[in-house]
Structure 1
Amino acid sequence: MKVFAVVGYTKSGKTTTIEKIIATLRKRGYTVGSVKDIHFEAFQIDSEGTNTDRHKKAGSQLVTARGLYETDILFQRPLDLYEMAKFYDTDYLILEGYRDGNVPMILTADCIKDLDERYDGRAFLVSGKIADSIDHYHSLKALSALEHTEEICDMIEATVFDLLPDFDSDCCSACGMTCRELCTAIIRGERKRTDCVIDDSIIDLSIDGVKIPMVPFVQKILHNAVIGVVSELEGYQKGSTIKLSIGGELKSEKH
């Protein structure tokens, strides 16, 4: 799934830009999901005193409100990007206002000062209100979503890639870069998405059906531990494919 963000201050044209992009990508036959990051501390969908609010206050850790036309699942904490992405199976996932993710970004603004404050190497395009008054910002094109949606979507198709991990540099730099540096290099055309070594994992680990990415160091530890045990068993041959499934807990031995 390809993921990108549209980032800018309030009233800079983020939502209008995303509306136009979603409509055009859908016309092109893509499936699209979206996430709206809301920065108001008091925001919550649930209202004081509702039945679902009472469930939450009673201690329910995951509350679901099922109506005639929609189902709302209410987590009692903010999810990070990777947790949210697990709920999506679309060609594109668009993040509005989510600046922390290791993803390509479209910057929106209504003045140069706002662009200066938001600009970094993950940006590949400028849009929003300021695109009515400038054509470029640094090396980036500035395109209004109201007039140039098709060109914007052409750039999205050419630039955006599958979601990268965002490991700490001390945890993984196996590609020769940090995850953030690799993201920037891919956007600039200097590297490829396939340069991320996590995709070449020799171990496929899932927990309750959710695939868990592992840095090479952790893969090596798990690999050596399993091989060390299994190699002592009859039937093992070097290079064998091993499948191990663990579910539930071991039953206590009878005394």
Structure 2
Amino acid sequence: MKLIQVAGYSNSGKTTLIEKLITYLKRKDMSVSVIKHHGHENRLAVFDTGKDSAKFRECGATGTTVVAGNTVQMHFNKEANWSIKDALKFQQFLKIDLVIIEGFKKEPFPKVVIVKKEEDIELLEQLENIQAILLWKNIELPTTLEVPTFLLDDFESFFSWFMNGVLEERNE
């Protein structure tokens, strides 16, 4: 299983980039999954209010899994916080080709970083394992960085690099 993190500050274009990657990779018949860090609250909203699965959790079930044809929906709570490694175990079990991680900036996984404004360049000094940088127009990076750099609106060049550099070992 391959994985890549997409990092950047809020409203930098992370979601748009991930949507484009998913669309391109699905055309290549790859299974793609996304793990997103939701740092706004400690709990996620559930969409099964009033359904049996919600009632089971309200009675004290640690988790519920609902199966419908080719879809599985799971909701689990546990005493300790879920880690990115916990989430990745699910992806491995499902034999996903590529997992895209949005957020979890401090984790050591290979990263693509989006820089929208000059002040966002500081993020490059805080992160490790940066594989590529995507820039909005008119951003100048320090020349000391030896990482492939692409303009955000030149997705074709980035995607070519991504397919050849990040995913080339997939078939080995």
TM-score bucket (shorter structure): 0.7 to 0.9
Q: Tell whether 2:126 aligns with 1:126.
A: no
Alignment of 1:58 onto 2:63 = no
Separation of aligned partners in 1, 2:44 and 2:85: 21
For structure 2, list consecutive stretches of 5 or more residues without a partner in the other structure: 168-172
> How far apart, in 2, do the equivalents of 1:141 and 1:112 lie?
18
CA-atom RMSD in angstroms: 2.7
**2:46 equivalent in structure 1:** 46
User: Which residue of 2 is the match for residue 230 of structure 1?
Assistant: none
Contact 2:117 2:136 in 1 (8 A): no
> How many residues are paired up?
158
Question: SS in structure 2 opposite 1:140?
Answer: coil
Q: Per-residue deviation at 1:56?
A: 1.6
Deviation at 1:68, TM superposition (A): 7.0
Query: 1:62 deviation in Å?
Result: 1.4
Q: What do the CA deviations read for 1:147-201 (whole angstroms, capped 9, x no partner)?
A: 322321233234437xxxxxxxxxxxxxxxxxxxxxxxxxxxxxxxxxxxxxxxx
Aligned equivalent of 1:3: 3
Alignment of 1:127-206 (within 5 A): 127=134, 130-134=135-139, 136=141, 138-145=145-152, 147-160=153-166
* Corresponding position: 1:84 with 2:87: yes
Percentage of identical aligned residues: 20
When Rg is computed on C-alpha atoms for both structures, the one with the higher figure is 1
Q: Distance in 2 between matches of 1:108 and 1:5?
A: 11
Q: Does the CA contact (< 8 Å) of 2:35 and 2:99 recur in 1?
A: yes
Q: Name the CA distance, whole Å, in 2 between partners of 1:29 and 1:105.
A: 23
Structure 1 gap segments, 5+ residues each: 162-255
Residues in 2 aligned to 1:31 and 1:47: alpha-carbon distance in whole angstroms: 25
The alignment's TM-score, normalised by the length of structure 1, stands at 0.53
- The answer to whether structure 1 residue 28 and structure 2 residue 28 are counterparts is yes
Q: Aligned with 1:38: secondary structure?
A: coil
Q: Which has the higher contact order (CA 8 A, sep 6+)?
A: 2
More strand by share: 2
Distance 1:31 1:49, change over 3 A: closer
Q: Secondary structure at the match of 1:93?
A: strand
